[in-house]
Amino acid sequence: MRPSATIVFALAALAVPGCNEDIFIQTPPSMQIGIESIEFGAVAVGRTVSRTVVIQNTGASPLRLNEPSFTDDPDGVFQAPEYDTEIGPVSQGTMTVTFSPLDVTRYEAIMLVSGNDQDNPSAEIRLSGEGFRQGALEVFPQLVDFGKVNAGDVGLGQVIIRNSGNGKLLVTGIELSSTTHPDFGILSSTQPGELDAGTEIPIRLAYRPGLGSNPPDDGLMVIRAADPFNPREDVVLRASLNRSPVADAGDDREVDPLTEVQLDGSKSYDPDGDLPLEYSWELVRQPDGSETVLVDASSARPSLVPDLVGVYEAELRVKDSTGLENLLPDRVVITAIPAERLLLELVWDSPIADLDLHMLAPGGIFGGIFDCFFDNRNPDWGEPGLADDDPVLVRDDLMGFGPEVIGYNEPVGGTYSFVIDYFAAHTPSGEEPTTATLRVFVDGILEAEVSRRLESQGQRWTAGTVKWPEGTVEEIDVLE
């Protein structure tokens, strides 16, 4: 053990008796380092780690240190960038030693620390460490905003996973958090895999709102990797939902034929308040031979006139102010049921032919007073002055398709004949083939439907009879 400074001074005084009091003997500095080696362990190539070495001066004079030197380190992976150049008496200083591996290998070197300690001018510290490659997880963007997505549509997004390190990166997991709305989804593979240094992969994402979806809260995609410095990255998923408008075509109804019906879609709405709505109606069902059309089909309240007995079905579609159409159209059914107990309807398929419907009372002759037709529209067949027991030619069509309609509220008992007269062909030859169809309704029920091909004007077809009050219809099919 080295003697203390006090003991040194005492021995010096005893050795020189009677010396001059101005004589001063200075004690040299004493350098002591408590370690002989530093093991840096495994350090990623491209990274730098540091260790601190404590140097003590146990002497009574300042210890001045020289710049450290290194042996067996041609690449300079070990450095001492910071150290105390002078350490006061009975004090301590520090030296920072760094290790920056350049490759995947084992490094060993010796650092020489020297100073002005005459008895111990230098000390060696063995340095060692190992370099290894390491991947570094980087994910961008941190927020994927799908924007406003229509219900029933798909919004797409993408996230990039990059290995910004200098070694392979194992991606261990790609998943959505348990609280993320189920309309968010990952389209790419979520299986673990390795990325080479400097490479990247895209992760495709989707937002698929359905018919019954609600607007989602922010979701979260979690990406995990074998990066000890950054093992997890979170990506926020955001979207707003444009819910489709809801079409309401109104209530089904039963009406009289040839009565104007106004439809009502004003109860349609948009759950997001994207108004005004755009309306589009279409007549998707009507009886064969009907020429009924929708009037003002682009309004909330269009109208139609059922020209034949039967079922009419109108479909409504609406669009909101963003242009999104309802996914499920709504339909309204209009059933035309005659109020008359006996109703005749005549239609034909030529646009230029003119056919006339005649109904003859018992004992009546064609064109006489007991014939209800265009020239005798409302004959008085029952009790004089009582309207319900008289037939009415409700509609006379002069050219093309019909219908011609005769209604009879309360027929007088007897047998009535139905005659179709080919009045005009509107061609120079008088010929214009057309198929005539007669429908007979008794108490609103279709009791008979008969058809006949007519070739030219002047032909007269007796289609059948009805016996009242039995309401039984007999087909005759006689062409003259």
DSSP 401-459: S--EEEEESSPPSEEEEEEEEEEE--STTSEEEEEEEEEEEETTEEEEEEEEEEEETT-
Q: What is the domain-level CATH number for residue 465?
A: 2.60.60.30
- Is 17 inside any structural domain? no
Residues 122 and 70 in one domain: yes
Tokens for 125? Answer: 């510290």
Q: Which among 231, 134, 235, 153 has a CA at the least distance from the CA of 188?
A: 235
Residues 348 and 456 in one domain: yes
Residues 147 and 215 in one domain: yes
The pTM assigned to this predicted structure is: 0.60
- Is 4 inside any structural domain? no
- Long-range contacts: 13-22, Cβ < 8 Å, 24+? none
Cβ-based neighbour number of residue 228 at 10 Å: 9
Are the beta carbons of 147 and 57 closer than 8 angstroms? no
469 cis-preceded (ω within 30 degrees of 0): yes
Place of tokens 């209800």: 372
Residues 219 and 192 in one domain: yes
- Is 16 inside any structural domain? no
Residues 311 and 349 in one domain: no
Q: What is the domain-level CATH number for residue 266?
A: 2.60.40.10
Residues 355 and 471 in one domain: yes
| Total structural domains within the chain | 4
DSSP 3-state assignment of 462? strand
Last residue of a domain, one of 336, 357, 391: 336
DSSP labels, 274-328: --S-EEEEEEEE--TT-----BSTTSSS-EE---SSEEEEEEEEEE-TTSPBPSS
**Residue-wise burial string across 69-94, b where 16 or more C-beta atoms lie within 10 A, e elsewhere:** ebeebeeebbbbeebbeebeeeeebe
- Is 5 inside any structural domain? no
The pLDDT of residue 25: 56
CA count, 13 A, side-chain hemisphere, 306: 26
216 cis-preceded (ω within 30 degrees of 0): no
Residues 377 and 462 in one domain: yes
Last residue of a domain, one of 132, 151, 182: 132
Q: How far is CA 134 from CA 42, 197, 229, 322, 468, in A?
A: 11, 8, 10, 50, 101
Q: How far is CA 82 from CA 5, 41, 68, 260, 410, in A?
A: 30, 21, 10, 99, 119
Residues in CB range of 317: below 8 A, 6 or more apart? 247, 279, 280, 281, 282, 325, 326, 329
The pLDDT of residue 414: 96
- Is 185 inside any structural domain? yes
Place of tokens 């009677």: 18
- CA 343, CA 332: separation in Å to the nearest integer? 25
Are the beta carbons of 334 and 386 closer than 8 angstroms? no
- Is 21 inside any structural domain? no
The pLDDT of residue 60: 92
- CA 224, CA 201: separation in Å to the nearest integer? 14
Sheet holding 404-408, edge to edge: 391-395, 404-408, 342-348, 431-442, 445-456
Residues 371 and 404 in one domain: yes
Range of the domain at 169: 137-242
Which secondary-structure segment (H or E) carries 13? Answer: helix 5-15
**Residues in a beta bridge with 238:** 145
Residues 349 and 257 in one domain: no
φ/ψ of residue 121, rounded to 5: -70, -20
Residues 88 and 155 in one domain: no
Residue by residue, pLDDT tens for the chain (480 residues) are 333 333 233 333 333 444 444 455 567 999 999 999 999 998 888 789 999 999 999 999 999 999 999 999 999 999 999 999 999 999 999 999 999 998 889 999 999 999 999 999 999 999 999 988 788 899 999 999 999 999 989 999 999 999 988 888 999 999 999 999 999 999 999 888 899 989 999 999 999 998 889 999 999 999 999 887 889 999 999 999 999 999 999 999 999 998 999 999 999 999 999 999 999 999 999 998 898 999 999 999 999 999 999 999 999 999 999 999 988 899 999 999 999 999 999 999 999 999 999 999 999 999 999 999 999 999 999 999 899 899 999 999 887 888 999 999 999 999 999 999 999 999 999 999 999 999 999 999 999 999 999 999 999 999 999 999 999 999 999 999
Residues in CB range of 337: below 8 A, 6 or more apart? 254, 255, 256, 257, 309, 444
Last residue of a domain, one of 219, 242, 265: 242
- Is 219 inside any structural domain? yes
The pLDDT of residue 4: 34
To the nearest 10°, report the CA torsion of 214, 216, 217, 222.
140
- CA 188, CA 314: separation in Å to the nearest integer? 44
Q: How many residues are recorded in the chain?
A: 480
Residues 469 and 351 in one domain: yes
- Is 20 inside any structural domain? no
* Signed CA dihedral, 197, 198, 199, 203: sign only: positive
Bridging pattern class, strands 31-33 and 49-57: antiparallel
Place of tokens 């190992």: 130
In single-letter form, the type of residue at position 242 comes to N
The pLDDT of residue 26: 63
Are the beta carbons of 355 and 218 closer than 8 angstroms? no
The pLDDT of residue 140: 96
Distance of CA 455 to the CA centre of its chain: 60
- Between the two ends of the chain, the Cα-to-Cα distance in Å is 149
DSSP 3-state assignment of 205? strand
